[in-house]
Every structure is written in C-alpha cells, then in structure tokens.
Structure 1
Amino acid sequence: MIHNPKHYLCNRYCAKSTLVSLRSAIDDSWLVDEPKIGSDKSVSPQKVIDFDLSSVDSPQIQENKELSQAAIDTEAPVNNCEILNETSEVKRRRYSSPYSFYGAIDIGASDLACLEEGKWLNDVIVDFYMEHLLATYMTNRRAERIFCLSSLASPAVQRFDRRTSGCGSVLLDAYKAFEPFTKRIDLFSKDFVLFPLSLSYHWILVIICYPSWLLLQGATSRLYPDRKCCILIFDSFGASTRSSSTAQRLRGLLEEEWKAKKVPLGHPPLEFKSTTIPLRNMKVPLQMNCSDCGLFVLHYAETFLKHLFSDDKFSLSKFCVADLTDWFPLADIERKRSDIKNMVLKLPIV
C-alpha cells in the first residue's frame, strides 16, 4: 500500500524536461515557489506538460520515438516475444502526454506483472490508464473541464478525519499530504474530477461533479438545477458503509482546499456538508472475484467519459438515479488486462 506519496512519486513519475523525480519537483517548486495566500445524510439510489524525450541519450528511446499516443490506440496485436530481451526481462517503458499534470510515468516489469490474471492492479497501471483516457478525449472542447486526480492522493483521504476537528494540526497535516496533488490546478474550475481511490486492498472510483458550480450563488445556480455539486462513488463490491465515511473525508479536503485557494481571493467560506454536496452510490456492474476491482474502476471511468462526450444533453440528475447494472458486458473486463498490457508494450523503451 501507499504510505508516503512523496516517496512513491520518485519511483513513478519524471518531472518535465529534466526527467528528475517528481519528489524534487514537489520539494523545490510545488511547495515553495508560490507565496502563501493569505454523519452523512446523503440519499443514495442504491441501498446501503509537453515532454521532450530528445534530451535522453538512449538510442532505444530515439528508435521508438514514433510510438506515440496514436500508436497506443491501434488495435494491432503485440508480439510479446519481440518485446522481451534475451533474459526474458521486460524492459522499462515510459508514457508521457502533453496533457498530463503529473509528468511521465515509467512502467516496469513489476507493474506489468499486476496485469496477470488474478493480480491486483497497482497505482502505476491505474494512473497510466487514467492519463491515457484523459489524453484520448482532450480534443473535445469539454475535456478542459475534466481533471484526473492521481491515485497517490489516496493516503491523504484516508488520513483526513473531521472527527479530529478538535486538533487542527492533525487536519492540517492531512491536507498538506493532499495539497501537492492540486497545487497547480484549480479543482473549482472543473466540472468533473475523476479520482481512482485506493481503500486499503480495494479500488473504487470517485467522481466529484460540478465543483465549479460552488462558485455560483443565488439565481445563477437556480437556472441550472441539474449542475449541482455531488460525489458519485462507483464500487464494484456494491454500496457499503465506507462510502459515507469516504465522502465525508472528501468534503473535508474540499473545504480545506476552498479555504486555501478561494477564501484569500475574497470568496466567502462555505460549509461542505452532505446537504450541500450529497453522495450518490451508483448501481454498476459488480466484480465476481477478489482481484478485478482496479479493472472495474478503469472501465467505469472509460464508460463514463464515453457517455459524457457522446451526449450533448448529459443530465447529471438522470444519470445519478439510473440503474447501470448492465452498463457494459463483463466480457469488457475480461479483455482489459490484455488490452492494457498491449498498450504498455507499445510504449517507448527507457
């Protein structure tokens, strides 16, 4: 499991251009370069950066430079035997996208091993595929209003507990662990924030809908009643009591984010409660084993984005109460491990 996000970042992400660890980027830039600016009652319908790789001297990278995002999207099968070297060790591969907020992602043999049948997906594979989904839809004008939060922010959610509100330093420390992942992004400018959240040994998908509309008050918001901020949880084990505590923690982090980013700009303080940001547990296809939760999270996200971008009249209120148990065939999940593995094996070698 992830214990220290900053420690994990150095193994996963490479900062722009220099390809150094993102841990350095956090220490030297994200946290220092900007001056300081100044019980759940939700109703649920379900019971319950342009990267320049030319500076890298590896001839293999230069040789594979043509394997861009377009190559990933092709359906041509990959000859795995040609990808492996003489010792049958999988070569490390790198995914980068000009739309990525966090940097390039390096994928190694241990990460690919997570795609074997019966294995749990790790954060590297999950974040890679989420970044790929975002890049796929960035040509759509509405995509600028969507953000994918890194799964490495999961420990901050686990640590944040409003029941410790008597100890402000505890809440502040928990928010400080979350802050690096949103330091250069305004969550309240987005319509949808997708977050693959790791809860110990289980993945769920969280979608925070219309946080941008929290800025609108009075008559303006009443003109668009369908655009109400809420939290959607997609859980392949079905709705559970942990959904309420998870939503409560997310509201708390959003409230701290509002205090840090919006109040200093003159916006009034807001109360982030279950009545203002309700929780919706979505009725979705469920997993039939103990290892496919990560695959379901990725397919929930992919199917949601397809639905969102194919429907110009997307209605959140209708979507929230829809029965999505037949949203997609389970055969899609059965193919996803091999599909993702083929995508990874087409990436440039580091």
Structure 2
Amino acid sequence: MASLLSHPPVLRLIQFPPPPSKGGITVTTEDLECLDNGQFLNDVIIDFYLKYLLLERAPQDVADRSHVFSSFFYKQLTRRDNASEDSTSISAQQRRHQRVKTWTRHVDIFKKDFLFVPVNQEAHWYLVVICFPGLEEPQCEEWRSPASRRGTGGEKSGKAQAEEEASGSEKLNGVTDVPPSPTNTDNQDKLTLTEWKGGLCVCECVPYGCLMFSLSVSVRYLQSEWEVRRGSVREFSSEQMRGSHCKVPLQDNSSDCGLYLLQYVESFLQDPVVHFELPLRLEHWFPRQQVRRKRDEIRDLVLNLYRHQRGDLLGDLVGF
C-alpha cells in the first residue's frame, strides 16, 4: 500500500481541444509534474500550450495567418534514416520531406504569414520562426511611424519627444529601431520597409552550429514542400530568405528554456513583429517575471480545463 501511495497512477486529465475536434493533445498527471520548479518542460506541455495559444488566446486574424508545428515535427524531419529509407535512390532532402509530408495535408503553409517550429536539441528548447514563406517577389510595405500618430491622445513629453527625434529612432514591438529613409518627400510620415521576401528567425540562445543546421534544414523542407504544393521548383536561397538570430529575453537557469519558447510564441501572436530589419532586436519583448509565473499559470489552466471537461474536482489521490 505504501508503494502505491508513493507512486500514484498516471491519470488522464484533459484532451485539448476536446472531442469532437481532431488532433487533441492529452495531458496527464505525469505531464503536470514537469511544471514543478526546476523541471524541464516535456513535449506534451509544449504542444498543449502552443495549441491553446493559437485556438484561444491569439486574435483571430493573427491565428488565421499562423501555423504552429508539433514539437515532433522537427524530430521526425531530422531523425536518422532507417534501413529501408537508406536503401532508396531519392535524395536525403526528399527522404526527410517524405517523413512529414502528411503533416501539412490539411494546410497550405505558403498561404500563412508566420510558421512556428518548436525544436528540442541536446536537452534544450528553442524556436524557429519562418516569416512570409509564400512571398516570391520582394514586397515593400508602407507603415506610419508612431510619431505621425501623436496628437491622438498619446503625446509624449517634450523632453522624450526631443530625445527620440534627436536619435532618429522609433519603438516598435518593444524595440528601438532606426526606420528606413522616407521615399516620399511630400509625406515625411510615410516610411517604406526594406524589401522583404520572407525569412527564418531563431528565438533563443543556441550554439551557432545548431542555429545554422536548423535554418538549412528548414530551407530544404520549404523547397520540397513547395515542389509538392505548387508543382514547380523554387530556390529558397539566403538572398531570398534571410536567417537571423533574434535578440530576445534569455533564461537565467538551465530549466526554463521551454517556458521562454512558449512566451516567445505568445508575445508574437499577441503583437506580431511588423518591422523586419534583421537581426530582430527584441531584448525588452516581455518582463522576465512574466515567464516566472508561467508554470503556475499553465498548471491552473490545465486544472480549470479538467474541471470544465469532467465537471468534477480532482480526488485526493492526485494530490491537487
């Protein structure tokens, strides 16, 4: 009896999204244990919360423009060939694509603006963000600087405005960027973004070799997916899709990388980056305290969903 009490059975808590929706993630009491302080987040919690963000938290227009891959996608894409695969005559790039080609059978990723790929390598979570993968030609977007919107209830103090005008910079997405030069001298408030064909950005501090491998694998996957989807050949070269290692808030321990990955996606979905001067400088994207609360927030979310789905409370055996 003592051994049973010290090792309670693993119980299924929730499925999200619940039936009859397809593709639900099942979260168990064992999965919840990785939300304890100092524990490393597992695939289930990562996939559950990313799906919850996309379906419940993100503004609808942003959710419609985004696709979040499962944490198993990159693992399957990059695993070693088995004996039967190694004996085929097709290229390694094609073999990799074949392993995951059914994962996007219900979605055309080239109609999306933002693709999020969670990656786990060497016991470390990080995030690959692919922006505008469907753009084939350079596209310039006009945007109004925050300075042009002053006078509508959000004026800055004279000193703050003078300092900002002296530096020639504006804050976008919590980042100070130097905007491009005006292309229309008749309207100095309108600025044109740098030509942009899309890009691949990595959020998190990772060894440089892992960064380059992740970007090259992602590019080759896009090439193969384009051939299948569009029936034509397209080169995703470095000139067409620039890679960048984002400057983002970083963890201060060895166990919170998964939490930061989730916060990167959550912050992006709530307020998509609009200024793509690379490298993206997002050091002040969100306060560190926001990440420190995330373990408790996700645990509370799972338990609230449990009560909603089951209509009752967890028993004493579970211990919550």
Tell me if both proteins adopt one fold, taking TM over 0.5 as the criterion. yes
Quick one: which of 268, 275, 281 aligns to 1:316? 275
Please name the residue that 1:289 is paired with. 253
Give the Cα separation in 2 of the matches to 1:212 and 1:158: 23
Give the Cα separation in 2 of the matches to 1:317 and 1:255: 22
1:139 positional shift: 4.9
Give the Cα separation in 2 of the matches to 1:212 and 1:297: 24
Q: Which amino acid aligns with 2:111?
A: S
**Contact 1:160–1:171 under 8 Å retained in 2:** no
Please name the residue that 1:191 is paired with. 113
Overall identity of the aligned pairs, in % = 31
Larger RCO (CA within 8 A; separation ≥ 6): 1
Q: Which amino acid aligns with 1:109?
A: T
**Contact 1:226–1:317 under 8 Å retained in 2:** no
Residue correspondence of structure 1 range 144-163 to structure 2 within 5 A: 144-159=64-79
Quick one: which of 302, 326, 341 aligns to 2:284? 326
Aligned in 2, Cα 1:171/1:97: closer, same or farther, shift over 3 Å? same
Residue correspondence of structure 1 range 66-145 to structure 2 within 5 A: 91-97=11-17, 103-137=23-57, 139-145=59-65
Give the Cα separation in 1 of the matches to 2:200 and 2:288: 25
Give the Cα separation in 1 of the matches to 2:207 and 2:239: 19
Give the Cα separation in 2 of the matches to 1:102 and 1:242: 33
Please name the residue that 1:234 is paired with. 203
Give the Cα separation in 1 of the matches to 2:99 and 2:254: 29
Q: Structure 1: which 5+ runs fail to align?
A: 1-84, 309-313
Please name the residue that 1:27 is paired with. none
TM-score by length of 2: 0.69
| Deviation sequence 1:102-159 (CA, Å, 0-9, x none) | 6111101221111111111111100110011101245532421111111110213424
**Contact 1:239–1:281 under 8 Å retained in 2:** no
TM-score by length of 1: 0.63
**Contact 1:230–1:279 under 8 Å retained in 2:** yes
User: Number of residue pairs matched?
Assistant: 247
**Contact 1:231–1:278 under 8 Å retained in 2:** yes
Worse-matched range after superposition: 272-281 or 321-330? 321-330
Q: Which amino acid aligns with 2:71?
A: S
1:239 positional shift: 6.1
Please name the residue that 1:277 is paired with. 241
Please name the residue that 2:226 is paired with. 258
Give the Cα separation in 1 of the matches to 2:123 and 2:22: 24
Larger strand proportion of the pair: 2
Q: Which amino acid aligns with 2:213?
A: S
Aligned in 2, Cα 1:324/1:248: closer, same or farther, shift over 3 Å? same
Give the Cα separation in 2 of the matches to 1:174 and 1:238: 23
**Contact 1:148–1:194 under 8 Å retained in 2:** yes
**Contact 1:119–1:291 under 8 Å retained in 2:** yes
Q: Which amino acid aligns with 1:276?
A: Q
Q: Structure 2: which 5+ runs fail to align?
A: 142-193, 311-320
Q: Which amino acid aligns with 2:302?
A: V
1:208 positional shift: 0.5
Aligned in 2, Cα 1:201/1:239: closer, same or farther, shift over 3 Å? closer
Please name the residue that 1:177 is paired with. 99
Aligned in 2, Cα 1:206/1:144: closer, same or farther, shift over 3 Å? same
| Deviation sequence 1:273-314 (CA, Å, 0-9, x none) | 222211110001111111111001000111111222xxxxx5
